[in-house]
Amino acid sequence: MENSTYTYNKLCNIMEKSYDVIVIGGGIAGSAAAIASAMAGVNTLIIERNSCLGGLASGGQVTPMMHNGIDGRPGRSYINEIIKKKMALEGYGADDHYGNDGWFNTEMIKYTLEEILSDYKGEILYNTELLDTVVENNKIKGVIVHNKSGLSLIRGRVFIDSTGDADAAFASGVTCFKGDELLHNNQAMSLRFMVGNIDIMKLKAFLKEIGEPDILEYPLVEIASVWEATTPLNKVFQRALKDRVIEYPDGKYFQAFSVPGMPGVMSFNCPEIPGIYDTLDTSAVSRGLTIGRKMIKRLYGFLKAYIPGFEKSCIISSAELPGIRESRRIRGKYILSEKDFSERAKFEDGVARTAYPIDIHGLIDEKKLGIKLMERGEYFEIPYRCMVTDSIENLLVAGRCISSTFIAQSSVRIQPTCSALGEAAGVAAAYCVRNKEKANELDGKIVRDIMSEQLKEVSC
C-alpha cells in the first residue's frame, strides 16, 4: 500500500504495525466488539476520538441500560453480562428487582471496559479520530486517522465501524440513510446532566407524600414527567411553568435516575432540545448544546426551589457528549424494519434480540403508528446481514447505526442491543481473520451459534 496512489500517502505517517481487527468508535458497541475480537485471540485495536471507552454510556452519561423486555437467557449476550456482573460485584452496578439489572455507574464503566479489554490484550488508541478509509477492490486496506502525532494510516484486515454515525462506512462509499424516510430529520437530541448532594430519602418521602409512584428501593430512585401526563409530579412542573421558573420545552420530557456507587447523585435524561433536526450538522449540534445548558440551569433552579431533597444539591456536570439518539444508518444486506417488529421476526442469522418498544423522541407519536406493543415472551431478532454491506467485503457495522429504517432503529438503539451487536461484530471479525473469510459473505448463523455457546458460560 506504500505504493498506492492514495494522496494521503504524501501527508501520512504509515504505522509500522498492522492489526487483524480495527474497531473504530469505543461506545458500548465498539467496546463489546473489541472485547469479543480480542477474546477470540486475534490482535485488535480500538480507535476512539475521546479519552475513554463507553461512548454515550460514559461520556454521554446515559444510564441505566434499558431492559430489552425479554426475560432470562434469550435476551442476554455474553459480553454485556460480563460487563454488568463485574460492575455489580464492585458496587457500581445494580438490579432494581423489577427485571432490570442494567443500572450502572457512568464513570466506572470507563474503568470496567478498559480492564476487560486489557485482560485480553486489546489495544486502545484514544484522542484519535477517523478521517477516511483507504479502499481498494471493495476492501478497506487501512484507516486514515488524526491525533496529536498528525495524520496516520493504520492497516488492518477486518474493520468494525461502531462510530454511531457510520463514519467509516460512509467514508468507504457505503450507501447510508439519515433520519426519517420523508424529511430526513433525526430524533431529538438531549444533553444529559448530573446533580449531586441530593437527599434521596427526603426526595422519596416527598414523592410518597404527593402520591407519586416510587416502587424502587433506596438508594435507587427514578423520577419522570411529561406535559401530557397528569401525575402529581407534573402538577409541580405546571406550577413552575406558571411561575415562569421553567419554560415549556424544559418540561416536555423530564426523567432522572439514581446512579449505583454515587450516593446522593442522580443522572438526568433531559433536557430534550427543541429545533435540532440534523445531528450530523456540527453547528446545529453546537447550538443545541448551548440551548441545552441554558435549559439545564433553569431545570436545576426549579429542582432546588420546588422539589424537597434538592435544597443543598449541586450540578456536578453536563455530559461531554451530546445526547444523539440517531444520525446516519448504513444500507446493509438486510434493512430491519417496523414490519420485523410487528411480525416478531426471527432469522436463522439472528444475532441479537429485543422487545424494547418503538421509542422516537421529538418527531413522531409512537401510538399513532399503530404498531402493537410486545406481549411478555414476544420479541424480534436482528439478523447478522444488518451489519454487513454488498459493497465492502471486510467491513462490519455495529451499534445504533446498523441497517434499519428510522422507526426500527428507535427500538434497537438501547445499550444492551448495541452491546450484543458489537459482540456479534467482534465474533464475526475474529472468525473471518482466522478462516480467511469475507465478512459480507459469512453465514451469520455461525456467529449466532458461537454467541449462544459463549453465553452458556455465564449464569443468567
Ligand X SMILES: Cc1cc2nc3c(=O)[nH]c(=O)nc-3n(C[C@H](O)[C@H](O)[C@H](O)COP(=O)(O)OP(=O)(O)OC[C@H]3O[C@@H](n4cnc5c(N)ncnc54)[C@H](O)[C@@H]3O)c2cc1C
Q: How far is the CB of 396 from ligand X (least distance, A)?
A: 13
Q: How far is the CB of 53 from ligand X (least distance, A)?
A: 7
Q: Is 178 in the site for ligand X (CB under 6 A)?
A: no
The dihedral through the CA atoms of 119, 125, 126, 131 has a sign that is negative
| Span of 43-51, 259-267, 335-343, 378-386 interacting with ligand X by CB under 6 A | 43-51
Q: Which amino acid is at 119?
A: D
Task: Report 90-149 residues binding ligand X (CB under 6 A).
Answer: 129-130
C-alpha closest to that of 176 among 361, 321, 392: 392
The nearer residue to ligand X, 238 or 255, going by C-beta atoms, is 255
| Span of 55-63, 104-112, 237-245, 367-375 interacting with ligand X by CB under 6 A | 55-63
Task: Provide φ and ψ at 414, rounded to 5°.
Answer: -70, 160
* Member of 56, 108, 236, 395 binding ligand X (CB under 6 A): 56
Strands of 336-454, DSSP E? 350-354, 380-383, 395-397
Q: How far is the CB of 30 from ligand X (least distance, A)?
A: 6
Cα(336)–Cα(412) distance, integer angstroms:
10
Q: Is 66 in the site for ligand X (CB under 6 A)?
A: yes
| Span of 134-142, 162-170, 175-183, 237-245 interacting with ligand X by CB under 6 A | 162-170
Angle at alpha carbon of residue 26, lines to 105 and 70, rounded to 5°: 60
Q: Is 156 in the site for ligand X (CB under 6 A)?
A: no
Identify the DSSP state of 403. Answer: S
Q: Is 34 in the site for ligand X (CB under 6 A)?
A: no
Helix (H) or strand (E) holding 42: none
* Member of 42, 55, 180, 206 binding ligand X (CB under 6 A): 55
Residue 48 near residue 442, CB atoms below 8 Å: no
Total residues contacting ligand X (rule CB under 6 A)? 37
* Member of 44, 152, 172, 269 binding ligand X (CB under 6 A): 269
| Span of 22-30, 106-114, 149-157, 388-396 interacting with ligand X by CB under 6 A | 22-30
* Member of 167, 338, 349, 381 binding ligand X (CB under 6 A): 167
Q: Is 65 in the site for ligand X (CB under 6 A)?
A: yes
CA dihedral 273, 278, 284, 290 (to 10 degrees): 20
Cα(302)–Cα(243) distance, integer angstroms:
10
Q: How far is the CB of 269 from ligand X (least distance, A)?
A: 5
Cα(307)–Cα(247) distance, integer angstroms:
17
Q: Is 26 in the site for ligand X (CB under 6 A)?
A: yes
Sketch the per residue contact string, 192 through 221, with ligand X: x for CB under 6 A, - otherwise: x-----------------------------
* Member of 30, 271, 332, 426 binding ligand X (CB under 6 A): 30
Task: Report 360-419 residues binding ligand X (CB under 6 A).
Answer: 399-400, 413-415, 418
Q: Is 285 in the site for ligand X (CB under 6 A)?
A: no
Angle at alpha carbon of residue 50, lines to 60 and 120, rounded to 5°: 100
Q: How far is the CB of 159 from ligand X (least distance, A)?
A: 12
170 alpha carbon, distance to own chain's centre: 19
Q: Is 62 in the site for ligand X (CB under 6 A)?
A: yes
The nearer residue to ligand X, 206 or 386, going by C-beta atoms, is 386
The nearer residue to ligand X, 70 or 324, going by C-beta atoms, is 324
Cα(69)–Cα(241) distance, integer angstroms:
35
Q: Retrieve residue 97's grid coordinates.
A: 428487582
Q: Is 325 in the site for ligand X (CB under 6 A)?
A: yes
Q: How far is the CB of 256 from ligand X (least distance, A)?
A: 11
Q: How far is the CB of 209 from ligand X (least distance, A)?
A: 27
C-alpha closest to that of 424 among 314, 332, 341: 332
Three-state SS sequence of 16-83: EEEEEEEEECCEHHHHHHHHHHHHCCCCEEEECCCCCCEHHHCCCCCCCCCCCCCCCHHHCCHHHHHH
Helices (H) and strands (E) in the chain, counts: 11, 18
Cα(437)–Cα(219) distance, integer angstroms:
50
Residue 302 near residue 240, CB atoms below 8 Å: yes
Task: Report 239-268 residues binding ligand X (CB under 6 A).
Answer: none
Cα(43)–Cα(385) distance, integer angstroms:
24
Q: How far is the CB of 242 from ligand X (least distance, A)?
A: 28
Sketch the per residue contact string, 422 through 451, with ligand X: x for CB under 6 A, - otherwise: ------------------------------
Q: How many C-beta atoms lie closer than 10 Å to residue 360's C-beta?
A: 20
Q: Retrieve residue 236's grid coordinates.
A: 409541580
* Cis peptide preceding 64, ω within 30 of 0: yes
Q: Is 162 in the site for ligand X (CB under 6 A)?
A: yes
Per CB under 6 A, residues contacting ligand X are 24-30, 47-50, 55-57, 60, 62, 65-66, 129-130, 162-165, 167, 190, 192, 269, 323-325, 399-400, 413-415, 418
